[in-house]
Amino acid sequence: MSFPAGIGYNAAISYPDCILTNTIDIPAHLASLFHFALREVAADADPALVEIERPREAAHGDYACSVALRLSKLLRVQPRTLALQLQAALPPSALVARTEIAGAGFINVFLHPLAWQQIVPHVLEHGERFGHNRQGEGRSVQVEFVSANPTGPLHVGHGRGAAYGASLANLLAASGYRVSREYYVNDAGRQMDILALSTWLRYLECCGETLVFPANAYQGGYVRQMAQAIFSQHGTRYRHAAAPLYATAPDAATEADAHLDHLIAQAKQTLGDGYLYFHAFALNEQLNDCRNDLHEFGVEFDQWFSEQTLFDQGVVQRTLKVLQEHGHLYEQDGALWFRSTRYGDEKDRVVQRENGLYTYFASDIAYHLHKFERGFSWLIDIWGADHHGYIPRVRGALEALGKNPDQLTVSLVQFAVLYRNGQKAAMSTRSGEFVTLRELRDEVGNDAARFFYILRKSDQHLDFDLDLAKSRSNDNPVYYIQYAHARISSVLTQWGGDVEQLVRADCSPLVSAHERELLQRLAEYPGVISAAARELSPHLLAYALKEIAAALHAYYNAEQFLLEDETLRTARLALIAATRTVLRNGLTLLGISSPDHM
């Protein structure tokens, strides 16, 4: 790309690559300029002092840097004096027209129009890869999310974790990481035993048995459906004489769990191999339902990892043996305990009960060790907010195993609260069944569900407005963004030309206020992707897309595109075509469609 006379860089000075003029991430480019100046003025200063900001008023430039104000406190020098020194040390750049000192020591940066105009051909040339970066440097990262027990349908809480995890994985992949998406299937342990028992008891009812169904067993209608399916296929084959044992209920609430464990043991003894059939049937039915639900939601996994394999392959036993050999386990009251208080936990935790059964914590330790053994250098777990207290004990166990706990990042996801007609909607039925993800998707659609789920930071409470999500209005953010994409498609269809030819458009006529605003938004998009991946915050991208859409709608309402002036027409068409590319790229990363017609 050529630059106007007098605008260039000094080849005699050694600059970082991003200082040279063919950069597109303008804030990063400016930060590099100030980093260079900072080294010249105060070599030992922390580069983190440099922050590039957008001024509130256009008269104050395109960007501003307050590093002189921050540095003055450390060096005990007047900020304006430092600002002048930094200004003088700034290397020249083809993108910067001039800088000015304002106020007590702000350095305002005024960019050459070319800085913004160059974004258009760059976007059109890179297409779907525009905004991608290499900050991950090929580092392997595993994102484990959803991982709900396969004991019932996914509910709206799981949906938020699914939308967040899928969007985050896409952002990391776009930022140069080698990403593996994993669902941890809890197919071993007590909860699956309770589901298998619940299914058999409902099956016995189908066989005509009268019994007292335990209040702490699985109550959902899906359990009856599974039982009916087994009865339809096998008749009374699994009806046994032991059925009368289930006609009693525990005498007190404190005995409920013990009673349930007794029923599970009785079912295993009575059914024999038949129990394995009920267990496998219930697991497969619920796991397949989960797979289908997530697939329809646009959420895919590279690996569905079975907890049971950790036992079958001896990983749990081997992991506990290592902990015991290094003095991290001890026996008490017949159980085996992990010394988690050494690592900040409030109390030590049982890993093997007195009856010989392993706890969920034991398999979780083994699972995380196994992740490292598979070669991942960064583990990201996405858990519900109620698992906050679980973090120190898992990190502690990894440290006890000789692993770096800082290689594990846990992102917590708060529950979503549904609202209808301004009132909090019922989240569960009288039987205790939550509103399912499928029911939410059926009501508002996949796109609205995916977008609304990630509108706020994951660890913040989310109020999900069902009426707004269904509305076709500018107040609905996902509709607003998709409508911007459709508007552009309509104009380009009316034009009827070859969009690929627009990459060679002369963009110098793009100088109006609306065009400058839109160009700035497009230029900032790569930085948004980088920040959203670095901060594990897909909501940053959602907000950026809203701002791009707002700039497009304002531009659309203010200007015409299919003009007689060929140069201006081609430039404007190239700009909106680039805008459409950026909107589509961002929506794709969030798992949302980009309709051409609405």
Sequence letter at residue 273: D
Residue-wise pLDDT for 176-228, tens only, equals: 999 999 999 999 989 999 999 999 999 999 999 888 899 889 988 999 999 99
Of 414, 358, 412, the closest CA to residue 390 belongs to: 412
- Joined together, the tokens standing for residue 261 give 């464990």
End-to-end CA distance of the chain: 38
Confidence of residue 58 (pLDDT cuts 50, 70, 90): confident
Query: Can you give the length of the chain in residues?
Result: 598
3 state DSSP class of 312: helix
Other Cβ atoms less than 10 A from the Cβ of 450: the count is 27
Q: Which helix (H) or strand (E) holds 255?
A: none
Percent of the chain with pLDDT over 70: 93
Query: At a CB cut-off of 8 Å and minimum separation 6, what does 310 contact?
Result: 188, 316, 363, 366, 367, 370
Confidence of residue 333 (pLDDT cuts 50, 70, 90): very high
Residue 167 CA to residue 541 CA, distance in Å, equals 10
CA distance readout (Å), 21 to 1, 53, 520? 9, 20, 17
Query: At a CB cut-off of 8 Å and minimum separation 6, what does 381 contact?
Result: 144, 145, 408, 409, 410, 411
Of 160, 179, 238, the closest CA to residue 450 belongs to: 160
Query: At a CB cut-off of 8 Å and minimum separation 6, what does 568 contact?
Result: 509
Q: Nearest-5° angle of CA 522, CA 526, CA 528?
A: 95
**DSSP letter (8 states) at residue 155:** B
Sign of the dihedral defined by the CA atoms of residues 539, 540, 543, 549, in that order: negative
Confidence of residue 146 (pLDDT cuts 50, 70, 90): very high
Residue 280 CA to residue 333 CA, distance in Å, equals 34
Confidence of residue 307 (pLDDT cuts 50, 70, 90): very high
Alpha-helical runs (H) found in 51-189: 67-75, 79-89, 113-117, 119-126, 156-174
Query: At a CB cut-off of 8 Å and minimum separation 6, what does 127 contact?
Result: 581
**Rg value, the chain, Cα:** 30
Q: Residue written as tokens 């990481």?
A: 177
Q: How far is CA 174 from the centre of its chain?
A: 13
Of 249, 82, 159, the closest CA to residue 446 belongs to: 159
Of 549, 589, 479, 586, the closest CA to residue 163 belongs to: 589
CA distance readout (Å), 399 to 48, 121, 365, 395? 30, 50, 11, 6
Residue-wise pLDDT for 500-537, tens only, equals: 999 999 999 999 999 999 999 999 999 999 999 999 99
Residue-wise pLDDT for 409-429, tens only, equals: 999 999 999 999 999 987 765
- Joined together, the tokens standing for residue 6 give 């007098």
Query: At a CB cut-off of 8 Å and minimum separation 6, what does 159 contact?
Result: 297, 416, 437, 440, 441, 449, 453
Q: Which helix (H) or strand (E) holds 390?
A: none
Confidence of residue 102 (pLDDT cuts 50, 70, 90): very high
Confidence of residue 12 (pLDDT cuts 50, 70, 90): very low
Of 459, 297, 326, 474, the closest CA to residue 396 belongs to: 326
- Joined together, the tokens standing for residue 239 give 């009806």
Sequence letter at residue 393: R
List, in order of start, the domains of the chain with CATH numbers.
17-112 (3.30.1360.70), 119-136+474-589 (1.10.730.10), 190-288 (no CATH)
Residue 46 CA to residue 509 CA, distance in Å, equals 41
Q: How far is CA 582 from the centre of its chain?
A: 19
Mean residue pLDDT of the chain comes to 91
Which segments of 16-95 are extended strands (E)?
A: 52-53, 63-65
Residue 152 phi/psi, 5-degree rounding, is: 170, 175
- pTM of the predicted structure, to 2 decimals: 0.90
Percent of the chain with pLDDT over 90: 81
List the single range of 12-26, 160-174, 475-489 with lowest mean pLDDT. Answer: 12-26
Q: Residue written as tokens 């392993």?
A: 358
Of 381, 310, 402, 434, the closest CA to residue 143 belongs to: 381
Indicate if the pLDDT at residue 21 is higher than 60.
Answer: no
What's the pLDDT score for residue 57?
86
Q: Residue written as tokens 């305990």?
A: 337
What's the pLDDT score for residue 380?
98
Other Cβ atoms less than 10 A from the Cβ of 54: the count is 13
